[in-house]
Structure 1
């Protein structure tokens, strides 16, 4: 998962609204979002190579989502980052306790951002800084750096998200996730991967023959605890290949 924008509004009729893109190599095997037969109440996509997930919901109003940190200087971990959302979704710890315990083993994973929440709180952890904190109410976003880092694609997505927040209609939210515009070269971040790759990764929606946005996901969480989650899947060059939706 490489871009997440969300509104966290405790006490609102729609306390949590999430729009997210997962970017990955098309060749990496993955299962479309579904309810996992071996984990009742868990709805998520599944990485068929390492077994984890990048975004999902679980029992008790639990939510978790993951992005990688793009920095070639970081040490590569020995464990799959996809374990992390899965462990939270299948557990019963509060977000704060879960992340405080994660501090002690975060170095075993390559760089990551992790969002975890339940009906009471929403927390963020960045493995590069080692900082875990409860998110204040408002609009937030994360891509492949830190929370609310002013990368052009994230600023673009957050602005579009804010514009559609009042209605929060699916068409507008999916449209912002499908935005292929790339910023000028002078505005691109410098993460050490070279200009050509920075250009490819600079848009909200990424499409190429080998790597791109594999899934766009919307999550609506309502004050009464019900949730609606919709995911659209894409293949090489951004070709649509399906849509699934769940209401709980």
Structure 2
């Protein structure tokens, strides 16, 4: 998962809105989101190479999503797959949050760079293993990509502004507008590009919210809505290397009452 836009208590009907794109090499084998066969309370996609996932929710209301941190020359030898961090949180209790934050701190050196969004409707956190910081998300709109939370990258600012404006003016939430936000393929001006160590051609290519190239790009877009009655709407749209939509997965369920 490479970009997340999160609205916490910004819409009158939906206290939690997440709009997210997963960017990945097109050759990497993936299973579309579904309730997992051996963990039937977990709704998530699956990375078939490493066995983890990039974003998911369970029927107890635990939510988690991952973005990698783009940092050349900082790879960890024999690093553990970061996708297990999302899965491990979803497999645990919804009351584990503080404990899980400590688990992330204790294991941070075993993984390449990442941000992990985790928590429940009551409280979400973002942990950054490079900075060893865990930030509680108060009411507001957030953007998370391949650096720190709310880094001033053009695509982060564009997505945050669009989501904030939509939450303020949408009496009825139309998920099509959220998918339009996620499908924004406008590249940033060279003068505004971040300098993350990759060649300038890649900085340009990666500067849009929706990424398209023959070898690497946006593989799926996901919209997650949770309303005040704790009813969950999850829709995922998958894309091929030509940015053509290939499938849609739609699920709805109510979070279990404790």
Tell me if TM exceeds 0.5: yes
The equivalent position to 1:238 in structure 2, one of 235, 239, 243, is: 243
**What SS does the corresponding residue of 1:171 show, helix, strand or coil?**
helix
Q: Are the aligned partners of 1:4 and 1:21 in contact in 2 as well (CA < 8 Å)?
A: yes
Partner of 1:82: 83
Partner of 2:199: 194
Identify if the C-alpha distance between structure 1 residues 225 and 200 changes in structure 2 by more than 3 Å, giving closer, same or farther: same
Q: Are the aligned partners of 2:10 and 2:140 in contact in 1 as well (CA < 8 Å)?
A: no
Describe how 1:92-131 pairs up with structure 2 within 5 A: 92=93, 93-131=95-133
Moved more, 179-188 or 71-80: 71-80
Q: Are the aligned partners of 1:66 and 1:113 in contact in 2 as well (CA < 8 Å)?
A: yes
- For residue 96 of structure 1, report the CA deviation from its aligned partner: 2.4
Number of matched pairs = 248
The C-alpha deviation readout for 1:89-111, integer Å capped at 9, x for no partner, is 01014322211221000111110
Equivalent-residue separation in structure 1 for 2:10 and 2:100 (angstroms): 20
Equivalent-residue separation in structure 2 for 1:188 and 1:227 (angstroms): 36
- For residue 240 of structure 1, report the CA deviation from its aligned partner: 1.0
Unmatched tracts of structure 1, length 5 or more: none
Equivalent-residue separation in structure 1 for 2:105 and 2:143 (angstroms): 22
Instruction: Name the TM-score, length of structure 2 as normaliser.
Output: 0.93
Equivalent-residue separation in structure 1 for 2:246 and 2:10 (angstroms): 35
Partner of 2:9: 9
Describe how 1:1-248 pairs up with structure 2 within 5 A: 1-9=1-9, 13-76=13-76, 78-92=79-93, 93-165=95-167, 166-167=169-170, 168-248=173-253
Equivalent-residue separation in structure 2 for 1:46 and 1:198 (angstroms): 27
- For residue 223 of structure 1, report the CA deviation from its aligned partner: 1.4
The C-alpha deviation readout for 1:47-101, integer Å capped at 9, x for no partner, is 0000000000013111000000001032325100000000000101432221122
Instruction: Name the TM-score, length of structure 1 as normaliser.
Output: 0.97
Moved more, 7-16 or 72-81: 7-16
- For residue 123 of structure 1, report the CA deviation from its aligned partner: 0.7
For the aligned residue pairs, the C-alpha RMSD in angstroms reads: 1.4
Partner of 2:256: none
Moved more, 166-175 or 49-58: 166-175
Q: Are the aligned partners of 2:21 and 2:182 in contact in 1 as well (CA < 8 Å)?
A: yes
Equivalent-residue separation in structure 2 for 1:186 and 1:237 (angstroms): 28
The C-alpha deviation readout for 1:151-193, integer Å capped at 9, x for no partner, is 0011111111112114231111100100110011110000001
